Structure 1
Amino acid sequence: MSDFLIVGGGVIGMMTALQLADAGHAVTLLERGECGREASWAGGGIVSPLYPWRYSAPVSNLSRWSEGFYPELALRLLEETGIDPEYRQKGLLYLRVDDEPQALAWAREVGKPLERVGPDFLYAKEANAAPGCDGALWMPTLGSIRNPRLIKALRTRLVAMRRVTLKEGMEVTGLQRQGSRITGVETATGSVSCERSQVIVCGGAWAAQLLAGVGINLPVRPIKGQMILFKAPQGLVQRVVLMDGRYVIPRGDGRVLAGSTLEDVGFDKTTTDDARDSLWHSAVRIVPRLADCEVEHHWAGLRPGSPKGVPFIGALPGFDNLHVNAGHYRNGLVLAPASTRLLVDQLLKREPIIDPEPYRPTEALSW
């Protein structure tokens, strides 16, 4: 029997499994579909909250730790798997920021490089950006990662690890409880015993549904986001550019992602023409030359929405062996290294990287 059983094979579940296996523990990971094919695949891969100064300290603290870890993780996975997650640290340009004074004050307070630059600097960095801007905010340290390749690399590494048992196509439909312990998980193909295991729910937007069966009211719900992908010539966009809440993200092969919508429509992942048109117009406002490029793909994913975007990380009250790591909202990829490390620190009784208290699930959870 494994020391740990993880429910959910997104980036949170896979990074948790990797760290526990690195520490010498046997891990079983159950994923209802294919690992990483939900929100982890659907996101854009910006390694920062979009407007970080607008977030609370708990989100910012996780984000800062994760940003510093991604370069190391990308190099490790490339070396171990031969798959390049394409971590790119080329900075971010913010166009038309309404709360610029607050942004600059936040940057000074946390020691983050962020400065106001003029139009000459802006167009030297991004020649095809929206014309006529009188300047921008520039964050030179921001990076992005190509999340589908990150997911592929993580999965490949886990499959190769002797201590990890990866079971895909195994949907968990419920948890079996005896007193204060989870003794098994119910799946579409039968039950899996975990009486002696620590159980970790990393089910993203589906985490609340699973935990409701054992009396936990976790305030996490799906928030749909749609994105489009342009087949653009290499070099058309060099770095992440953000304007009016929408963004474009370049990939190493020239493709450009544009996102994203925010839709509270339950578990509906249907793409819509209205969203596609809205995303196209936003992208073309940011980089007008994208109007000449083919839209190669249009998709939707479900973010695990939570109050104020602060994830729930830690042991669930009333249980001896049940834990959660869910509710990252728009920042699952951003916060994954830190949030998984924080939970693993607690599971292994290590000194936590940051104070775990702001993320601790409590008895009276409600939306």
Structure 2
Amino acid sequence: MSEFVVVGGGVIGLMTTLQLADAGHQVTVIERGVCGRESSWAGGGIVSPLYPWRYSAAVSRLASWSEGAYPELAYRLLEETRIDPEYRQKGLLYLRVDDEERALQWARQVGKPLSRVGSEVIYAKEPAACPGVDQALWMPTLGSIRNPRLMQALRARLDNMPGVSILEGCDVTAMVSERQRVVAIETSQGRVAADQVVICGGAWSAQLLEMAGVQLPVRPVKGQMLLFKARPGLVERVVLMDGRYVIPRADGRVLAGSTLEEAGFDKQTDDQARESLRASACAIIPALADYEIEHHWAGLRPGSPDGVPFIGRAPGWDNLHVNAGQYRNGLVLAPASTRLLVDLLLDRPTIIDPAPYSLEGRVC
């Protein structure tokens, strides 16, 4: 029997496992596909909500803690695995923001460096940005991480930690319960006994919790992305305009995203989204029109009603816990979300007040 069974091998599941293993516990991860290949792989890796001043205080608290944790985590994983998650802290340019005053007021309230800059600063930082922009907002501290590399590094680290077992291609078929406890998980690879169960299934979390009679309001929300094979140095930092963004990688590749679609569990890409994303990317960085699109993909975000994740014990259960519903901010919120739940699991003082994320009163 594992002390903990973590269902879901995305960024939330693997970071949860890492922290539990760091604390000396035995953990079994059950992943329906391949670890890190769903929304954790599909996203862009910006270490901030796109427009952070438009989010609730509950999301902002998680985001702020996570932003401070990422540099250390990336360095740790590089040292331990020799896989570089490519954490880059080069700032973000916001072009054409229609609520600048609200943004600047938010920044003053939370002590975040955010300033209004003119064209001289804009084009000094991003010479290839669209011409004719007179002013923008500049956040110098924003970072990004190359999420596929992050997932590779997390997996590599866990493969070398005692007490960690990872079952991939393993579907959960039932939860075996006695009184108010889940005693085992039935899977396509057999029964897995557990003392504590943590559901980190992303967009599939609601389906998993239905097996325990818990109605979790998390749904899949599709997002499509493009990858341009651009030259190194064409774009140096994240640039955001009209809700779309470009994100540079160290090798010159540039991500462009993303769509927001209510399409159930459909992950197919389509030409209309491709052309819309390409047009948005080229509007931000016109020179991208000269580079080939190397890849076009879609992922499923775990959408929640208000974007506030569900973190904590499932109502009516003694040992069934949930960490899901980060919506568009799974990578952003992962370090804080997982640390908060692990604090609760291990009965430690929590990094922040867990009440806003509790399932009590929010699920049936």
Give the shorter-chain TM-score range. over 0.9
Normalised by the length of structure 2, the TM-score is 0.99
Aligned residue type for 2:53 = W
Aligned residue type for 1:60 = S
Aligned residue type for 1:238 = E
Q: CA deviation at 1:190?
A: 2.5
Q: What is the aligned partner in structure 2 of residue 126 from structure 1? A: 126
Distance 2:303 2:92 in 1: 25
Residue by residue, what CA displacement relative to the aligned partner does 1:15-59 show, whole Å, maximum 9, x if unpaired? 000000001111111111110000000000000000000000000
Q: CA deviation at 1:364?
A: 5.5
Q: What is the aligned partner in structure 2 of residue 36 from structure 1? A: 36
Q: CA deviation at 1:363?
A: 5.0
Q: CA deviation at 1:166?
A: 1.1
What does 1:176-187 correspond to in 2, within 5 Å?
Answer: 176-187=176-187
Distance 1:14 1:138 in 2: 33
Which residue of 297, 300, 322 maps to 2:298?
300
Unmatched runs of 5 consecutive residues or more in structure 1 = none
Distance 2:271 2:240 in 1: 23
Residue by residue, what CA displacement relative to the aligned partner does 1:248-282 show, whole Å, maximum 9, x if unpaired? 00000000000000000100000010000000000
Describe the SS at the equivalent of 1:308.
Answer: coil
What does 1:145-224 correspond to in 2, within 5 Å?
Answer: 145-194=145-194, 197-224=195-222
Q: CA deviation at 1:2?
A: 1.3
Distance 1:100 1:308 in 2: 23
Higher mean displacement: 175-184 or 113-122 = 175-184
Distance 1:107 1:153 in 2: 33
Q: CA deviation at 1:174?
A: 2.3
Q: CA deviation at 1:215?
A: 1.1
Distance 2:268 2:92 in 1: 30
Which residue of 275, 278, 295 maps to 1:277?
275
Partners of 2:27 and 2:165 within 8 A in 1: yes
Which residue of 325, 330, 333 maps to 2:331?
333
Q: CA deviation at 1:362?
A: 1.8
The alignment of Structure 1 onto Structure 2 pairs a total of residues equal to: 364
Normalised by the length of structure 1, the TM-score is 0.98
What does 1:1-367 correspond to in 2, within 5 Å?
Answer: 1-194=1-194, 197-362=195-360, 365=363
Describe the SS at the equivalent of 2:29.
Answer: strand
Describe the SS at the equivalent of 2:173.
Answer: strand
Give 4+ residue runs of structure 1 displaced > 6 Å after superposition: none
Describe the SS at the equivalent of 2:162.
Answer: coil
Distance 2:295 2:173 in 1: 32
Partners of 2:3 and 2:25 within 8 A in 1: yes
Distance 2:79 2:189 in 1: 36
Aligned residue type for 2:316 = G
Describe the SS at the equivalent of 1:309.
Answer: coil
Distance 1:11 1:224 in 2: 18
Q: CA deviation at 1:183?
A: 1.3
